[in-house]
Structure 1
Amino acid sequence: MIRIKDFLRLISLAVKGREEDYTTLSIRKSIVLLAIPMILEMLMESLFAVVDIFFVGRLGPSAIATVGLTESVLMIIYAVGMGISIAGTALVSRRFGEKNYQKAGSITYQLMVTGLVLALLTGGVATYFAGEILALMGAAPDVVAGGIGYARVIFVGSVAIIMLFLINGAFRGAGQPHLAMRALWIANGANIILDPVLIFGIGFIPALGLEGAAWATTAGRSLGVVYQLYHLFNGKHLLKISRENMVVSFAVIARILKVSSGGMGQYLIDSASWIFLTRIIAEFGSNALAGYTIAFRIIVFTLLPAWGLSSAAATLVGQNLGAQKARRAELAVWLTARYNVIFMAAVTLSFLLFGEHLSAIFTSEPEVIRIASEALGIITLGYIFFGLGMVMVQAFNGAGDTRTPAIINVVVLWLIEIPLAYLLAVSLGFAATGIFIAIAICHSLHALVSWWLFRKGKWKKVKV
C-alpha cells in the first residue's frame, strides 16, 4: 500500500514530470505517476467545456443549441484526432517498452504528417458546408443564421484540434503525461481567459458574440500545439524528433493508418451515435436540445478525468507488452479499473443529489434546468459500469487492438442504442427521457461486453 505521505510525494513528482521506466516501477506508483497528469489534463479540458457553455449560455438558448449541434458534428473531427492519438500511444509505448527511442521519434513525425493531411481534408469540407451541416442537424433558420460564423471558425481550427490530440497521444505513450497536461492547460487556460473578452468585448476589443467563443477556442488550442512542438524538437526528452526522423515513410504511415483506423472507427461510430441522438432530441424543441447540451457538458466534466485515469492503463499495457511482460500489463489494467469504478460511484452520488443545482448554474430557464437535471439523474445511473468499460477500452487501445472496441461500438451503439432511443423517445412517447434511458442502458451494456472480451486475453497477442 502507498502511504499518504508517499502518495503526496508521488503527486508532486507526477506534476513536476519525471521520465520513468514503467516496465519495472511498482504498478501502483506507475498508475499514480501516469494518471495524475492525465486526470489534471482532462480536468482542464472539462473545465473548458463547462466555462465555455457558461459564457455562451448568457447569449440565450439558440446560442447553446448552436454549440450543441456544432459539437455533435465536430465529434467526427475529434474522432480523427483521437484515432491517430490512440495509434500514437500504442506505437510509441511499444517502442519505449523495447527501449527503441529513435524509432519512437520517427513514428511521432509520421503521426504529425498523417494528422496534418487528415485535418486539412476534414476541416476544409466541414468549413465549406457549415451552413448546410447545421440545417441538416435540424437547426431552425435563425439558429443557422446566428451560428454559421461560429461553426466555420471552429471547423477551421480543426488542424489545431487534431495536432493537439495526436501529439499528446505520443507524449502519453512515451510516459510523459506531464507534457500533455501542460499543453492542454495552456490551450484551455488561454481559451478560458479569451472567452469572455471576445464574446462580450472589453476596451478596444469589440464584442464578437458567439463567434468570439470560436476564436477563443481556436487561439487557445493553437498555443497548446506551439508548446508541444517546442518540446518535441528541443532534444531534452527521450521522445524527440531529430533531423534523421524527418523523412516521410509511407510504410510507417500505412501502419499508423491501420492502427488508427480502428481508433477512428471507435470514435466515429460513437460520434455518429451522438449525432443521431442529438438529431432525435432536436425534434422536441430548443429547450430540450439546450438541456441535453448542458447535461452533456456536465457529464463530460466527469467523464474526461475518468478517461485520464483510464489512459494510464493504455500506456502501461503498451510499454509492458513491448517489454514482454503481459501479466504485468493485465494486473495494471485491473488495478486501474478498481480506482476508476470508485471515482465514478462518487460522481453518481453527487449528480443524484445536486443535479438540479448544477444545471441551474448554466441557465435560468426552468424547463431547460428540468431536462438537464433529469438527464444527469438518469444517464449517471450507469456510471459505475462506465468506469469499468473505459479502462477496458483503453487497455485494448494500448495493446494496439483498436478493432475490438470498434466492433463493440457498432453492435451496441448503432444496432441497439439508436433504435432503442427512437423507440422510447418517439414511438412510445417518452420524448427526451427515452433518450436518456437508452444512453444509460447501452453504455452499461458496452462496458460489460468490453470486460468479458478483455478477460479472454486475445489483446496480449497483438503486434504493432
Structure 2
Amino acid sequence: MPHDADSPHESDRAPGGPLARWLAGPGGGGEVLRVAAPLVVSSLSWTVMTFVDRLMLRNASGDTMFAAFEASTAWFTTLCLPLGLCMYASTFVSQYHGAGQPRRIGPSVWQGVWLALAWTPLLLALVPLAPRMFSLAGHGAEVVPLEIDYFRVLSWGGPALLAGAAMQSFYSGRGKTVVLMVVDTLAALLNVLLDYLWIFGHWGFEAGGIEGAGWATVVSLWIKALVYAALMLQRKHRADFETGNWLPDRELIGRLLKYGGPSGLQLLLEVGGFTTFIIMVGRLGVVEGEATGMAFSVSTLAFMPVWGLSMAGSILVGQHLGENRDRTAARAVWTTLHVAFIYMAFVSTLYVATPGLFLAGFFGLSPLSVDPATLDGHDAAVWAASVVLLRFVAAYNLLDAFLMVFVNALKGAGDTRYILLVSLVMASLLSVMSYLAVAIWEFSLMGCWAIITAWVFITGVVYLLRFLQGNWRTMRVIEQAPVLENGAAS
C-alpha cells in the first residue's frame, strides 16, 4: 500500500522558528489544536457535569456521594463493550472522509446506532439484578440501597448514551468537533441545572436525592441524543453523506464488529479492572472509600481533557491513513502527546501544590480560604487521605497521557486486536492485584494506589512500543475505492 513515509513534511519547509514549524502543516500543532480544542471543551463539560453532581451529593452526605461514584462506575462498566463499538464508528467516518468517500459516512454511523439498539434489552435486563450485584461488593448497609437506586435509574439512560456516541461520530470523524463542543456543553449545563432542582427540590421538583441526580443525567442524555439525530438528518447531510440511509448493512456492520469489538472489549476490561480496584478499596473502610471517590472525581479534570486530545489524535490518524499519509499521521500523534504532556504537567502541579482548590467544595469550604482545621474527625480524616491521593493522581496522570494518546492512535489505524490482547493481560493483572492487595496482603490505601500507578506506567509503555514498531502504518478499516484517472476516488 502506498504511503508517505519518505515524503517531507510541509512543516520542514515552513519559515520561522521551532514553534512556527511545530504549528505548521498537516499533523502539526495548528491542525491538532483545531480538531482537539472543541473535543477538550466537550470532555470538560462531561467532567464538570459529573464533578458537580458528586459535589452536590457530597453536601447531602458522604455516603450518598460514595454510593453515586460506585454505582455510576458499575453502570459505565456495563456500557463499555457496546460503547466501544458505537464510538468506533468514528474511525470508519475519519478514514472514509480522508479517502474521499463521503457517501459511506452516513451508513457507517447508522450501523453504530443499530448496535446501540441491539444492546438495549441486555442493559435493561441488569436492572432487576442490581440488588444482587451490589450486595456482593461488601459495602456498608447504609450505602448499598443508595447504590442500587442510582444504578437502576441510570440504566434508563444507557441506550441514549450509546446511540448518542454513534451519532457523534458523524461530526468527530470528519473533524467537525465544534458541533460536539456546543451540544455536549449545553447538555452538561442542563444536567447541572436538573441536578440542583432534582437533588434538593426546587421550582416544583421533589427533593429526590441520589435518585434525582440519576434522573437528571438520564434526561440530559436522551435530549442530547435527540439533538444529534436532528442535526445529522438535515437535508444537506442526507444529500452529501447518505445520512438518510439508516437500513442495516450486513457487510458494514460486520466490519464494525470486527474492528470495534476488540476496542469495546478493551474498554470493558480496563474499566472492569478499575471497578474491581474501586470495590476492593471500598472494603478498606468508609474514609478510604470516600477519599478514593474524591480523588478519582478530581482526576477527571486532567483525564477527560487529555481523553479529548487523544480522540483528536485518533481522528487525525484515521483521516491521514485514509489519504495514505502515514508519516503525517505519526506526526499528529507526537504533536498530540506534546500538548497532552503540557496540560497534564500543569494540572498535576496544581494537584500537589494546591489540593484544597479541588477538594474544598466537597466539604463546603471556600476554595480561596481553605482551613481544614474546621473539619470534624471524619471529614478531617477524609481530607488528609484525599490530599495524599492527589499526589498519586499527579503521578499517574502524567503516565496516563502516554496510555491514552498511543492506545487511541492505534485504534485510529485499526490495530484493535493487539489492544485487546494487551487489555486481557493487563486488566486481569489489575483485578488480581487489587484483590490480593486488600484481601490477602492487607495493603493500606497508599499501597493500593501505588499498584494502580505502576499499572498505568507499564500499560502506557507497552502501547508506546507497539506504536514505535510501526505495524499500524499499513492498516485500514475501510475498503479501498478505485482510483480514477484524475486521481480522485470513485
Length-normalised TM-score, structure 1: 0.90
Residue 456 of structure 2 aligns to which amino acid in structure 1?
H
Is contact 1:93–1:173 with CA below 8 Å preserved after alignment? Answer: yes
Deviation, 1:204, is 2.3
Deviation, 1:281, is 0.9
Asked if residue 457 in structure 1 is aligned to residue 458 in structure 2, the reply is: no
Q: 1:208 and 1:383 mapped to 2: Cα distance?
A: 35
Deviation, 1:242, is 3.8
Change (3 A) 1:304 1:138: same
Change (3 A) 1:40 1:262: same
What is the number of residues matched between the two proteins?
444
Is contact 2:70–2:147 with CA below 8 Å preserved after alignment? Answer: no
Residue 107 of structure 2 corresponds to 106
Residue 447 of structure 1 aligns to which amino acid in structure 2?
G
Deviation, 1:356, is 4.4
For residues 397-438 of structure 1, give each alpha carbon's deviation from its aligned partner in whole angstroms, at most 9, with x where no partner exists.
Answer: 1112222222222222322x3343444445444322122111
Residue 42 of structure 2 corresponds to 41
Q: 2:98 and 2:359 mapped to 1: Cα distance?
A: 45
Is contact 1:232–1:240 with CA below 8 Å preserved after alignment? Answer: no
Q: 1:81 and 1:235 mapped to 2: Cα distance?
A: 29
Residue 227 of structure 1 corresponds to 227
Asked if residue 408 in structure 1 is aligned to residue 449 in structure 2, the reply is: no
CA RMSD of aligned residues (A): 2.3
Residue 79 of structure 1 corresponds to 80
Q: How does 1:338-377 map to 2 (within 5 A)?
A: 338-363=338-363, 365-377=379-391
Partner SS state of residue 415, structure 2: coil
Change (3 A) 1:203 1:93: closer
Q: 1:240 and 1:232 mapped to 2: Cα distance?
A: 9
Residue 453 of structure 2 corresponds to 440
Change (3 A) 1:247 1:444: same
Deviation, 1:140, is 2.8
Is contact 1:77–1:158 with CA below 8 Å preserved after alignment? Answer: no
Q: How does 1:115-126 map to 2 (within 5 A)?
A: 115-118=116-119, 120-126=120-126
Length-normalised TM-score, structure 2: 0.85
Is contact 1:231–1:240 with CA below 8 Å preserved after alignment? Answer: no
Gaps of 5+ in 2: 1-10, 364-374, 478-490
For residues 199-246 of structure 1, give each alpha carbon's deviation from its aligned partner in whole angstroms, at most 9, with x where no partner exists.
Answer: 111142211111000011111111111110111101344874443x12
Residue 13 of structure 1 corresponds to none
Partner SS state of residue 206, structure 1: coil
Deviation, 1:452, is 0.8
Residue 382 of structure 1 corresponds to 396
Is contact 2:272–2:427 with CA below 8 Å preserved after alignment? Answer: no
Partner SS state of residue 142, structure 1: coil
Residue 32 of structure 1 corresponds to 33
Residue 191 of structure 1 aligns to which amino acid in structure 2?
N
Deviation, 1:453, is 0.8
Residue 405 of structure 2 aligns to which amino acid in structure 1?
V
Q: How does 1:247-326 map to 2 (within 5 A)?
A: 247-326=247-326
Partner SS state of residue 308, structure 1: helix
Q: 1:461 and 1:26 mapped to 2: Cα distance?
A: 18
Q: How does 1:121-136 map to 2 (within 5 A)?
A: 121-136=121-136
Identify which range, 134-143 or 305-314, moves more after superposition.
Answer: 134-143
Identify which range, 429-438 or 322-331, moves more after superposition.
Answer: 429-438
Deviation, 1:66, is 1.3
Residue 396 of structure 2 aligns to which amino acid in structure 1?
G
Is contact 1:187–1:222 with CA below 8 Å preserved after alignment? Answer: no
Q: 1:67 and 1:320 mapped to 2: Cα distance?
A: 41
Q: 1:239 and 1:209 mapped to 2: Cα distance?
A: 46
For residues 26-76 of structure 1, give each alpha carbon's deviation from its aligned partner in whole angstroms, at most 9, with x where no partner exists.
Answer: 633211110000000011111111101011112212211211221221222
For residues 161-208 of structure 1, give each alpha carbon's deviation from its aligned partner in whole angstroms, at most 9, with x where no partner exists.
Answer: 112222223421121111222221122111011101001111422111
Partner SS state of residue 332, structure 2: helix
Is contact 2:42–2:308 with CA below 8 Å preserved after alignment? Answer: yes
Residue 367 of structure 2 corresponds to none
Q: 2:236 and 2:449 mapped to 1: Cα distance?
A: 48
Gaps of 5+ in 1: 8-21
Q: 2:66 and 2:93 mapped to 1: Cα distance?
A: 39
For residues 65-117 of structure 1, give each alpha carbon's deviation from its aligned partner in whole angstroms, at most 9, with x where no partner exists.
Answer: 21122122122234135312442111111110111111111111111111121
